[in-house]
Amino acid sequence: MPDETQDDQETATPDNGITDADLQRHWITILAEYWRQADWEQFSGQQKSRAESFSERLEAAARSGSVHKMLKKLAHGLGMSAPNLPTAALDPLAAHDQQAMAVLRREKIYLVNKADETVQNYFNAKNNDDSNPEPTTSELTDFITDE
C-alpha cells in the first residue's frame, strides 16, 4: 500500500466511510461542549490557563481506551457529572472508536485550541447581539472555523 501524505489522509475516505477530518470536526464539537460546561471555578486558584488545565485532563483521559471511557474520565476531571452532548457528533466517534481515539491522541493540541476558539467565537457573537449567551450544541457547530 503506498504511503499517504497528511493531505491525502484528511481528504480520503477510508474503507469505513469516515475521514479523519470528519472525526476532527466531531471532536471539536464534543470538546467545545465540555469546555462550555466545565466547572472552571474549581481551577480559579491555579496559575494555569484554562487551555492548560483542559489539555492536562484531556491527556489523562485519552489513555482510557475508548471514546465513552475517555469522555467519562474527562467529565470527572473537569468537575462535571454527565454533560449534555449532541448525538450527531458523539455517535460517529463511538461508531469509529479506534480511529476516533487515534485522531484525538494525534491531534490533541489542535482540537483543544479549536474547541476553545469555537466557544469564544460563539460567546463573542452572542455578546455582540446583546442576547443571553447560552448556546445549544447545534449552534456551537456553527462557530467552528476552517483554517
pLDDT tens-digit series, residues 2-60: 444 344 444 445 556 899 999 999 999 999 999 888 887 877 777 778 888 899 999 99
In a domain, 6, yes or no: no
pLDDT tens-digit readout, 67-102: 999 999 999 998 888 788 888 889 999 999 999 999
Query: According to the model, what pLDDT value does residue 9 have?
Result: 44
In a domain, 1, yes or no: no
In a domain, 113, yes or no: yes
Domains contained in the chain, number: 1
Q: pTM for the full model?
A: 0.76
In a domain, 84, yes or no: yes
Which residue range is the domain that position 31 belongs to? 19-141
Question: What count of other Cβ atoms lies within 10 Å of the Cβ of residue 60?
Answer: 14
In a domain, 4, yes or no: no
In a domain, 8, yes or no: no
Q: Is the pLDDT of residue 127 over 80?
A: no
Among residues 70, 52, 53, the alpha carbon closest in space to that of 61 is found at 70
In a domain, 31, yes or no: yes
Mean pLDDT calculated for residue range 96-123: 92
The phi, psi pair for 15, rounded to 5°, reads: -55, -30
